[in-house]
Amino acid sequence: MRCVFIPGRTTEQGRYINIGKDKEEYRTMVSTLQMNVQDLAALGVSPGMYVRVRSEWGEATFQCAEGDLPPGIVFVPYGPPTSILMGGQTDGTGMPTQKGWEVEIEAAENPAAGS
């Protein structure tokens, strides 16, 4: 399934930046991808299951959660997994394009299970 990938900041994430990025709660937060319920069904996954997301620059695995998003749009708080998916081209701005790129999403095994 192709979707538009929107990483961004959240208020809760901002709290954890101050508490510590090494905390399990922070790692979980930045590894959880929110999708529209219709997109979850189309992929055959439920909240709590995992998906693999591929961009032209890399791939990362995320746990799914239902989000209040339009179909075809996915959201993840900025973090190490979203950075893997981000290219390095800055078009002279000094900052890579961080939002609105197309990605391929597929169901995946739990990464802790050894996949």
CA atoms of 10 and 29, how far apart (whole Å): 10
Mean pLDDT of the chain: 87
Per the structure, the count of domains in the chain is: 1
- CATH value at residue 32: 2.40.40.20
Give the model's pLDDT for residue 115: 45
What pairing do the DSSP bridges indicate for beta strands 101-108 and 73-77?
A: unpaired
pLDDT in tens, 84-93: 898 766 666 6
The string of pLDDT tens digits covering residues 1-34 is 999 999 988 888 777 777 777 888 888 999 999 9
Pairwise pLDDT comparison (40 vs 111), residue with the higher score: 40
8 or 60, higher pLDDT:
60
Cα 50 to Cα 45: distance, rounded to the nearest angstrom: 8
pLDDT of 42 over the 50 cut: yes
Return d(Cα 66, Cα 6) in angstroms, integer.
15
* Domain around 77: 2-113
CA 6 to chain centre: 8
In the prediction, which pLDDT does 93 show? 66
